[in-house]
Each structure stands twice: as C-alpha cells, then as structure tokens.
Structure 1
Amino acid sequence: MDILKSPMLVFFKFLGEKVFQLLAFLGKISIFLAESIYHALYPPFKFRNLLRQIRFFGNKSIIVVVFTGAFSGMVLALQGFYALNKFGAEALLGPVVALSLIRELGPVLCALMVTGRAGSAVTAEIGIMRITEQIDALTVMAVNPFKYVIVPNILAGIITFPLLTAIFDVVGIYGGYLVSVHALGLSEGTYFAQMELYVDMEDIRIGLYKSLSFGLLVTWICTFMGYNTGYGARGVSRATTNAVVLSSVVILVWDYILGAILL
C-alpha cells in the first residue's frame, strides 16, 4: 500500500489543513480588530455615522428586546415556582427570577436577539458594499472604510448592548412579577423584598461586563464577515449566515468563560 495514501496520513493531512485555516482566520480577525481599535482612537471621528448606528442597534431593537424580556421573565417565574414549591421556598421566587435575568439570561438572550436582528443586517449591508465596490470607492476617495463603516458599528454595539440588556432585565423582572403575583398568588411584598435582600451590585456588574463584551464580540464578528465577504449573492448570504452562527456560538462560549472567571 502506498504510504502517501494511507488513511492515517490522509487524516493528519486533513487535520493539519484545518488547523492552518483556523490559525489564519484567527490572525486575520485579530488584525481586523486591532485596526478597528486604532482607527477608533484617532480623529477624524464619524459622529453622525455613530449616532445612526446607535439608533439602528438600539431604538429599532427595543420591541424585540421588550417582548423577549417579558416572556423570559414570565417563563422563569412559572417554572421557578414549580421547582421552589417542591422545597417550600416560594418566597425566593423573586430573587431567582432577578438573578437569572441579571447575571445570565438578560445579557445572553438580549445579545442573541440583537445579533439576529441587527448583526445579520450589518453583515449583509457591509457585504453588499463590498461586492458592489462601494468600499473600494471610499478608498479611492481617500475615505478610510474602517472609520466610515466599521468603527461606528463596533462603538454602537458597545454602547447599546448594555442599555438594551438593562431594558431586558427590568421588563423580565416585571413579567415575572405579573405571573408570580397575579397568576400564582405570591405576595407582592415578598416578591420585591426578597429580591432586594439577595440581589446586590456585584450581580449587576457581572451582567454589565457580559453585555459590554457581547457588544464588542457581535459587532466585531459581523463587521469582519461582511468586510471579507465573497462575491455575488451567494457570498453575502454565506457571510451573513456564518456571522450569525459564529456570533451565537461565541456568545454562549464567552458567557461560560466570563461566568467562571467572575463567579
């Protein structure tokens, strides 16, 4: 048997190619982030573009965030009551809902919703600019595409994700209140008093750190995928799909890593 065609050698060759592709991708996306940070720190600053993207990420995502937050809190209250009732600890339903939303579900679900609504649109928009040579036209006109396209999206994500997460948490807590008090018969005073007793600033800071990091990660990945999209409609659709999938996976993985560090 030809040793060059042995199954083991073919497997290691395939594995080596994938490792090199992964390293090349990590190097390329890291350089992209470094260049974005560099251009974000030095003038000229595109404040109009930044405000437009803040409105796009924030204002236009509020309805999705409110609906998701309300029903997340309601489901948490319903299932939490069922679990706590087995141990006679229904009075702790308020802290369970609040801590679950503030520390974990609020930042994660909010980031996933905004990724699906705004992140995919940003990837498609930048991808279309790439395949229609609008980005090349900006370069020809001596307009830096990073300052004009990339930096406003990344800064808008860092600014809006914590604000949207705060809205998500508040709406979710009141959604849990509606189910706990008006549907399950829990005392209103018990729901909020126990929450005040068990939820502290450290829990809020953890949620803030997560939402800030998610804002950076999602916009970084989505802008990178759009900026380096392939040509044609298929290239844009593939870049958009890859951006949403990769962002969602990174959100979940980073949530665990950050949670383990800040625990």
Structure 2
Amino acid sequence: MISLASTHRVNVAVGDEHTAKGIVDALTEIFFEGQAAVAAFERPDGRWDVTVHFAEPPDQPLVRELVGNAAGTEIAASITFDTVEAKDWVKASLEDLVPVSAGRFIVHGQHDRARVPPNKLGIEIEAALAFGTGHHGTTRGCLLLLDHVLKAWRPRRVLDLGTGTGVLAIAAARALHEKVLASDIDPPSVQVARDNARLNVSGHLVQAIRATGFAAPHFASRAPFDLVLANILANPLRQLAGPMARQLAPSAMVILSGLLTHQAPAVIAAYRARGLVPLRHLRVEGWSSLLLRKVN
C-alpha cells in the first residue's frame, strides 16, 4: 500500500445527487489522474458531500470557479480547504463504499468480503492513492463491457493501459486465468496495482509496469494484443489511437473509457480512422465506455 504523510482536502456539501455529479464531472475533466482524487458520497440525511484530495496545495480560486460553474456561487463560497493524513482519508473513504456489481464482477473493500455472493467474482481493492475502486462510472462501464466480451470470446493476450488500482487487469486475469500486462504512467499506481493483484491471488498473472503510452519493451514482447482495456481520458485516448492500432491482433477488441458522453464521438472517429469499428456504447453516470473491434 502507498501511504503519504498528508494530503490537501477540499470539501463541498450539496443538496442532491445531480449537483454532486455535476461537480465531480467538472473537476475530473480539469484535474488529471495523479493530481486529484474526486469522490461523492450520500449522507444519512440525503444530502451529498463531494471530497477532493490533492497531493499538492490546490489552486483555490480555480477550484471555486469550477464548482461555481457547475453548482452556483453560493455552493462555491461554502467550500472548505484543509490538510489531513492521507492514510486516514483513504481508509475512511473506502469504508463508506458499498460493493459494486458489474456483470459477473463485484468490487468491494476488505470490510465487505463476506458480502460477495458465491456466483460473483469478487475483486478486493485495498485502500491506496490510486484511481479505480469500481464505484466510478468509467470503471463500472469497463467491467460491464469486459463481462459482455468474455461471454462469447476468450482473448489470450490482454493489456490494461492506465491501470490505476489494477482492478481491470485483475478482473481479466481472474476470469480468464491468463497473464495480463498492466501499465501506468504513475509509479505509485503501479505499486498499488501490484499490491492489489497479490491481494486478489493474481500476482502471478498480472505484470504491472511503469510506461508512457506504448513506449516500453514489454509491449513489443507481449503484442499483438487480443484485448486492450484503457480507462484513461478522452484526449490521451485520441492520441493513442494510432499507436494502439499497431499493437492489435486481427479482430482484436478494445474497451475504452474515461470520457464524458459528449466526448465519445470524437474518440470513436479517431479509432474508426485506424480501422476499429464501434460495437457497443455504454453510458454510466454521465460517462461513456466503448467497445470496438479491429476490422481485418
């Protein structure tokens, strides 16, 4: 597990789920993975809290402007900023989360091990400073599409690009009993993915490496890939369309996410230009997840 001395926290209290999701969307579109961790939780009284954790002190005027644009100046003015121990908020946040089901998969914390049904493939995610607990619409969309693909097909060479906590790589490895290559640009995320793979008895199947794009020798030795999972962001996904297409086997499948619904057409166009056609488009909580296939 990765533990840091402290983290900078932003708290926003709002009245309803729709407003909370609007704030989350606004913040996640600006702050990239590794810069901030954004989460929204419903309180017992029905109101919602949006909490953001930064490794570095945030630009407070920018945060207020983004929240104000999404939810109004009154809510923006009520934002609080403080500093807390990283290990405390991460553990507390995950303890508040309930298990999330996505097809055959169910993502859960340690405290919910006993709640995993026997007919589900449980994936336990340890508290850590990395993205992908399964509670975000992008991760759940990817898991649903992965479950759909595996019902009719058995890929052997799988890549999880931008692995975060490793949840997608672990899901594929455990379902297929095959080795999966997982990469991330962020060194702490790589270690978190390795830790989570070991926790889920798949450390021998998931190889987590640090890499930017496809610039690592591991890709050449493992390609061409039958299935690529990439839960990143819209702009990097568009930029990776060409390099990714060159790493794919004939008739390979690609699952993409991390893009807002209005960004999906541009991402689809980028991959269609490289010979990949869309098969399914899932919309979960305002986020899009795409399933594409390489045309021979």
| TM-score, length of structure 1 as denominator length | 0.25
Q: Which has the higher helix share?
A: 1
Q: Which has the higher strand share?
A: 2
Q: Greater RCO between the two (CA within 8 Å, min separation 6)?
A: 1
Larger Rg: 1
| TM-score, length of structure 2 as denominator length | 0.23
